[in-house]
Structure 1
Amino acid sequence: MAKDLFANRLKKVVPFDQDGSFFYRKAKKYIENNNYINALNYYRKAIEKDPDNLEYSMDLAEVFSEMGYYHESNLILFYIMQKNPSRTECYFAIGCNFLGLQEFSKARDSLQKYLEADEYGFYAEEAQNLLEVLQSQEFFIENFNEADPVRDETLALATRGKDLLDKGDYRQAVRVLEKAAQRDPGLIFARNNLALAYFCIGKLDKAIEICLDILEEYPNNVHANCNIAFFLNEKGDSEASNKYIERVISIKTEDVDDLYKVAVTLCEMGQHRRVNQLLKKLLQYKPYDTKVLHYMAVSCYNLKMFKSAYKYWDKVEKINPNNTISSYYKHYVRSIMKNEREFTELPYHFQVPYDEIIRRVKTIHDLLKLPSVDLAEKWKNGNALDSLLRWGLDLNDVMIKKAILNVVASFRDEKAEQFLRAFVLRKTEGKEQIREALTLLKEMNAKEPYLAYVDDSIVEVSVNFNSTAGSGRDVIEAIPEMAIERIKSYYLVDCEDDIRDIWESVVTLWEKTGKPRIQKPEGWAAALELYYRIREGLPVSKTELAASWHVTYNTMMNNYNYINKLLAEFWEQMNW
């Protein structure tokens, strides 16, 4: 009878689907206990249940700020402002995030916008105090630091070189960093990055030579010691490599960037126990950094501390649930603990193993060949395809990215729209890929304006299909690509980096001298091709070249002379 009674009770159980407020309260409790990682999980669930509740989004943005994810916080705040422009407190929060990112001019602009929109608002006094601090800093820089525009330009060049290095454009990084290092040898970070760039293009001896030059002047430079230790290890000279490792370990530093560099070097050298100890220290400064947590997980795994490894990969997954790397390694370490596979050491880079990369890329290719109906069905049923395609976007392969963006756009649903909107806000993407995604959003009839990350800023963008030439910026950016396409059709030469570099120098100088009116882009592309051919000693008939571009000889030569004179004057000023 008891069994029948229990069965009857089960039949009467009504499934209870919790609303957003339930998860929101749970998130608040975790925040009270300073458990930001679990709070993230419940804020996301609250927003999933009630996406129109902007209070939930505001709190999520605040949590990201507390965790040091200032850019991610700003993305949410910009989204809130688009939904409800009256939420002026977002300007204040955005300004604080820019302070955290050390982007002080953007912080000042945001704080001023807040005071203009709500002069007596809740954060008005705090905003005014922050502005006074920023103005004091600017006053100090303007009045007590000697203005040095040449050094500022060189610093910007070195920063651009670092960005190119991070994006995997190693040859262009070498070109840019060489210029920066030659102009100002005192920019040690540029020379260290140049050494890395040389290593990445296979010039190991040149990379070592640069490190030795730095260490002759600055023997305790952490980055140079780390670089040369790694380079010598790659060359097979472990004895010399260990000498530099011991030196860098002996250097007492609390600088977070230095600690991170030493940790990454020890990871590359496979010194698991040492790196484990160092990462514990680094996590005191960066407890929510997903790469540091991943390195910690790998070090634990390689030391056969499998439960600890699982714990750290679980943290990575909770912070960034869209990544499929930590979920792969969680499954991997579970299989090791169950004796389902043999233990082998894992590399530290934040990516799945090479054989898994090959398997996933093949899966993506096979999926993209499916009939559109079958593919749309997989898209709608669960998040497996979504997660795989997001992983594919992190590969340094333009063709794969383009294919993924186009196939996602073909689904034409809310999920696809959010996928593309998230893509155009990625800081690491090139302009062409951002433009491609914006065009796809427009073709999907997604509501404008779109928020996009352009020229190191988050801006509102509207796409205009009516103009065949596009915006002035689009025309300027198209000119080098036109020249590259033509030259590569005639000569099998690696010209892309050189031509883009020449054109970027011209465009940068226009910011000071004023941009001429561009009526016919082909005339400038022809002039750019002519400049490159002459510089590289390639054969050229000027009359035939102009005719092939369907421009007059005078147009091409006027533009060529303009480019030549502009660059010649610039290098003369730089004493080159």
Structure 2
Amino acid sequence: MKEEKQRDRVADRKVVPLRRDAGFFFEKAVSSLDRYQYDKALKYFRKAVEYEPDNPVNHCNMAGILSEMGNYEASNEVLLSVLKDVDPNMTECYFYLANNYANMEQFEAAEEALITYLEEDPSGQFLSEAEEMMDLLHYELNRPAKVKYIKSREGMAEHDEARAMLEEGKFSGAVKLLESIVEEHPDFLAARNNLALGYYYLGMFPQAMEAIHGVLEREPGNLHGLCNLAVFIQHDGDQASLQELAQRLRSIVPFHQEHVFKLATTMGILGEHEAAFGHFSRLLHDEEVNYDPCLFHYTAVAAYNTGRYSDAKRLWRHAAKLDPGSEIPVFYLDRLERLQEHGREVKISYHYHLPFEEQLKLWDKWGESIPDAIKEDPLIRSSFFWALRHGDAQTKLQVIQAFSLIADAEVKEALQAFLLEPGEEKYLKDLAVFVLRTLGVTDPLPICLDGKTQEVAPGFVSARLPVWEPQWQAVLDEARRRMAKRYSVLQQHDAETIWVEFITRSYPEAPSTAHVGGWAAAVEYLTAKMHRRPVTYEEVAKRYGVSVSTASRCTRRVDEVCGIKEKMNAMFPSG
């Protein structure tokens, strides 16, 4: 009986199984690296290799640690086994080999490995470092290296131009150039990656996914491709695939600065804030980049999102010192204080700009004098292009207004593409046509309405009138001239809509427009009322050079036909 009770007690105990897999040992290795315990890190990476022998990343991590410890021969043995037995397409191993041989002063072998890297690696991940090493080998061997061609340089000049365009926010132009590069050089993976990003920035999600799969079909371990895919999958909402890919990314410890940054930002976007904080913190110890306020902002965001509020405050304060003219660190420091006061927990974006709604507030404040640096900021531009495709109706309305102030060729392209989207509201398309006209577009515009595509002149909101008389246009011109500096593009559009609706409903019995100023005053008065702006008959009468009674009479006539005040009362009931 006693033995039976003992067995029952043993059975009642909760047994927690010890996790033993490659991910477990990888995490232990990273933890040891953070404490500079290289022997332990090497031991754990070796265990990770035992559990996942077909994963080349585990082998490369082990080779990297051996190289850091100065055991270059052992590191090279691992790298050569990766190329022979695990993944012959991991051409970056040749660069690691060259680096090890150079450290061993085996310069002939280093040159051979480096030439192989340059001639076989399609992405050029370590191209700048390879060129520096080539200079060193030239000096040591007293002769130039015999490189026949650099594979990743194929189309490089055009690619550099396209990448610069992406960085400047010229997404449409970049995409066109990258499409031509990829067509001519299908294995140019960096161009494919950037093409995928260009599509993504423009909100063209299916094309972005197709482009990134083109990268990973050619090189399954491409880090930039994996990171981009993870961001795209997150947008698509496939949680199962996202978790699987995130787990794979968590097992990667890149040594190259660019790769660390890419992985850090990706993990932040995925909500893997602990991993992001670790990678960004590593970069803060790199003297080549730790002067950048953006990096301190990213690390502060990761700290904030993991509850390290004192670290976040310290990092944002440092960002403010590095970038004293920016409102961004100040905004987030203020948010941090409010969070601590009210106990609210809200995750924030890693981008070094204000949230979308804060940007719109600033645009309202700046009005027509928005600084060029703000207009040309690629992240801000990307957020607007994305919002025009994927935002709600109110957000799209705000974006179209903002586009009227950016006023460049890419904005025109985006608005023209918006006109062809079948599911968008007619009012938004009317506003887009209005903005295009204010931007100088005079050619007929293809527009999709009620499922049918037709061409319209970038003229008036309504196309139902058989004629448009010069005196009717004179009223619009007068109202537009007087309202231009004091009303937003949306309000100017609504003023035109009111007048065109009035003429359309009155036609063919349209009233005399001898008093151009009176009708223009009526249009402005009703527009102001629609947008809850304070206005009196005396103000508009004085502005348009007419009597108060004329302005009042014209306003009542327009309102009788169009029912503006009735619509407003329905939208904003009193009481």
Task: Give the TM-score normalised by structure 2.
Answer: 0.40
Q: Which has the higher contact order (CA 8 A, sep 6+)?
A: 2
Larger radius of gyration: 2
